[in-house]
Amino acid sequence: MMKISYDKTVDVLYIAIKDRPAIATEVCDGVFVRTNEDEVIGVTILGFKEKFMNFKERFLDPPVAENPFRTAVLEIQNRIFDPPDTRTHSEDEDR
């Protein structure tokens, strides 16, 4: 069960890998990893759009077809920033 949702009103990306209680630890500025013992349960990223755009500019501009991150980053951009009238996306919906 992986669920990805983005709340554009507060610019937060939520990634839930499993539905279990967890403790969040900030691993870098605005990025929290939620764990239960030694298992990663999810990730929360505050200020996601700015972080994403900085990453995109740094690693993908100018576009290079051989870049292994390119497809994944463009998919994130399409699903989160240009979705068809939805604010959330669940990987379960793709199956």
Query: Has residue 94 been placed in a domain?
Result: no
Q: Which domain holds residue 71?
A: 3-85
Note whether 19 and 7 are within 8 A (CB): no
46 SS3 class? strand
Query: Has residue 92 been placed in a domain?
Result: no
Rounded CA separation 44/25 (Å)? 10
% pLDDT > 90, the chain: 39
CA contacts within 13 A on the Cβ side of 92: 9
Higher-confidence position of 46 and 60 = 46
Which pLDDT does position 11 carry in this prediction? 93
How many domains would you assign to the chain?
1
pTM of the model: 0.67
Rounded CA separation 76/72 (Å)? 6
Query: Has residue 30 been placed in a domain?
Result: yes
